[in-house]
Amino acid sequence: MPRIPEETLQQILAATDIVELIGRTVKLRRAGGNWLGLCPFHNEKTPSFNVRPSTASFRCFGCGASGNAFGFLMNHDGLSFMEAVERLAQAANIRIEREVWDANAEQEAKQKSALIRVHQQISQWYHQLLMKSPLAQAARDYLKGRGIDQGIARNWQLGYAPPSGPLLQQWANANEVSRALLIEAGILAQSPERGDTYPRFRDRLMFPIRNDQGEVIAFSGRLLQSDAKAAKYLNSPETPIFSKSRVLFGFDRARRSISKTGQAIICEGQIDTLMLHEAGFTQAVAGQGTAFTEFHARALKRQADEVVLCYDSDNAGIKAAEKAFRILAPAGLLIKMLALPSGEDPDSLIRKQGREAFAELLAKAEDFLDYQTQQAAKADALGDMRQRVRFAGQLAENIAVVDSAVARATAIQRAALRLSLPEDSLANLVKQARKSPTRRAEPAQSTGNEAELQKQAQAMVQQAHPQVRILASLALGDAEVLDWLRQQSLKPLLELPGTEILAPLWQSRFDATQPAALQGFLMQLPQVEQVALNHIMHLPQPPSGLEGAMHALSDLEIFRLKTLLTGLQTQLRQPRLDAQTSNELQREVMGLHQEITRLQNQLIARQAHP
């Protein structure tokens, strides 16, 4: 794979204002030389998210998230490292030159670019057909019946796919789009038996699906023939630029509103989503005809504290909502259910009764577990003790996936009261459900190694000698201290336990006056060391500068000598020690005592005359 030179990475970081980047989605306020805000990666009411321009870094003192501008985009937007680098490079107008040319990587980049381009082109063609072609009259009539006018259709670039292949072939020829590219993009489908191709989308209303940057990467097509046997909605297949499990319809438009309100509304379909947006509920999104995934949950959690499920109130809708709950709740999101009137969806409710009716229902949205219990009571599923016990077992499975122990305890208390069951009995059912090997993983486990990485880094910081933490903090925040530290003979000290985190700084050669160079250095370290040093970098820095570093180093040297002294004294206490060895050990002990006293006197004198 190609490697981006460290100099290029530093150049990109230097050109990126990390406060401005993070400030687009996190409300920050100045606090001295730093900036504070509510962490976008976990739920908090008191700001613990710290952005430090002097080191081009961020750190949350609540959940431990930390890193540079690349790391923020990777965590916040779900990007890979290369995607984060490319996005910031493009914003800074910096050309990325890779050190090693890789034909496969080059081809992959070209392939993705071609796929995005053809999706954009054909989306415009579908849209023009919808707006002007006589073939699309049924699609226009359908939209009119749903209260979608031309302005809304333009705003969302809705389109129409014609019923047969010749028109698509004419468009492809006119735009020099190859058959192979249309197959790869999922616009053409290929018959496995005959090998011939045909348009995947025929006589369908087309909804463009966009990535987080607003680029069209796929389509969802709604069938217009009510008596047809084909699926009502048909999505694009998986391609190098589209995966149903990683995309939410409308998220590119809704993300800012979700972040601002702390709430996401999840609908069952595209029309409900876009009509909610048009009515002013711009925090609405929808899945892509598949179950919610942990990726969806993490993407929403980065922006919101609360999710309102806006599904049909029939049995199918309630089951779909329960599946969504079991994915979203472990991410630490509060899940509510908006109870729609029977036979209504968000779109029809707003058209019939106005946005105020939907706003009222939204304000009354219930906790999902309360809603589930209430629906069971309405269905007369809690009539006798046997039914209540059976339902309690089902409910316990859902309570078990809730992230917060406090929220679980509250849910147990409320459910036990409603079911007229002993609270400890329901608590035991939940406890058993949480131990079940079939239970969905907790969010810390579902996010891969991130939680373990944070745990290891925190342990490394805590296990470091206090003077090591002071030295590392001063060296990371003061170029003069780092230059002085590099000149010291630290090798004997670095053999001590609790000093491991100091070695990378002592051996480093980056320009300490440049925040981007510091971040470039950190990116070369093992992840645990990188996160640990980021943690230290955001601790309150000792104010004493170089003088404080000298003091800390002297303290460390005293600690080293005392460690040696303890070892010698242990040897002296060994039985049957010969006289010569005993005399040699005593001389070494005396010498260590003298050296320790000398260093301690130096420290006292330095403190008296700073």
Architecture of domain 6-91: Alpha-Beta Complex (3.90)
In this prediction, residue 1 has a pLDDT band, given cuts at 50, 70 and 90, of very low
Q: Is 521 exposed, middle or buried (0-12, 13-18, 19+ CB in 10 A)?
A: buried
In this prediction, residue 174 has a pLDDT band, given cuts at 50, 70 and 90, of very high
Asked whether residue 447 carries a pLDDT value surpassing 50, the answer given is no
- pTM (2 decimals)? 0.61
φ, ψ for residue 28 (rounded to 5)? -110, 150
CB 78 within 8 A of CB 246: yes
CB 58 within 8 A of CB 52: yes
Q: What is the residue extent of each domain of the chain? A: 6-91, 109-242, 251-435, 453-608
Indicate the helix (H) or strand (E) that contains 205: strand 204-210
Residue 289's pLDDT is what? Answer: 66
pLDDT in tens, 106-119: 677 688 889 999 99
pLDDT in tens, 107-162: 776 888 899 999 999 999 999 999 999 999 999 999 999 999 999 999 999 999 99
In this prediction, residue 448 has a pLDDT band, given cuts at 50, 70 and 90, of very low
pLDDT in tens, 495-538: 776 788 888 888 888 888 888 888 888 888 888 888 888 888 88
At residue 447, the 3 state secondary structure works out as coil
Tally Cβ neighbours within 10 Å of residue 41.
20
Which residues, listed in sequence order, are joined to residue 264 by a DSSP beta bridge? 307
Residue 106's pLDDT is what? Answer: 61
Residue 57's pLDDT is what? Answer: 92
Residue 162's pLDDT is what? Answer: 95
Residue 575's pLDDT is what? Answer: 72
Q: Tell me the H-state helices in 281-422.
A: 294-301, 315-328, 346-353, 355-363, 368-378, 385-400, 405-419
Question: How many residues in the chain?
Answer: 610
What's the CATH class of domain 251-435? alpha beta
Query: Fold for domain 453-608?
Result: DNAb Helicase; Chain A (1.10.860)
* Longest distance between any two alpha carbons in the chain, whole Å: 110
Query: Which of 606, 462, 465, 476 has its CA nearest to residue 541?
Result: 476
Write the CB contacts of 308 (distance below 8 Å, at least 6 apart in sequence): 263, 264, 265, 266, 336, 337, 338, 362, 365
CB 501 within 8 A of CB 532: yes
pLDDT in tens, 375-397: 777 766 666 667 777 788 888 88
Asked whether residue 417 carries a pLDDT value surpassing 70, the answer given is yes
pLDDT in tens, 332-389: 889 999 988 888 889 889 999 999 999 999 999 999 998 888 877 776 666 666 777 7
CB 283 within 8 A of CB 265: yes
In this prediction, residue 446 has a pLDDT band, given cuts at 50, 70 and 90, of very low
Query: Fold for domain 109-242?
Result: DNA primase DNAg catalytic core, N-terminal domain (3.90.980)
Write the CB contacts of 249 (distance below 8 Å, at least 6 apart in sequence): 207, 209, 220, 270, 273, 285, 286, 287, 288
Query: CA 80, CA 369: separation in Å to the nearest integer?
Result: 35
In this prediction, residue 218 has a pLDDT band, given cuts at 50, 70 and 90, of very high
* 466 token code pair: 């206090």
Asked whether residue 307 carries a pLDDT value surpassing 80, the answer given is yes
Asked whether residue 443 carries a pLDDT value surpassing 50, the answer given is no
pLDDT in tens, 536-592: 888 777 767 888 888 888 888 888 888 778 777 777 777 777 788 788 878 888 888
Residue 149's pLDDT is what? Answer: 93
Tell me the percentage of the chain whose pLDDT exceeds 90: 30
CB 203 within 8 A of CB 162: yes
Query: Which of 306, 294, 236 has its CA nearest to residue 266?
Result: 306
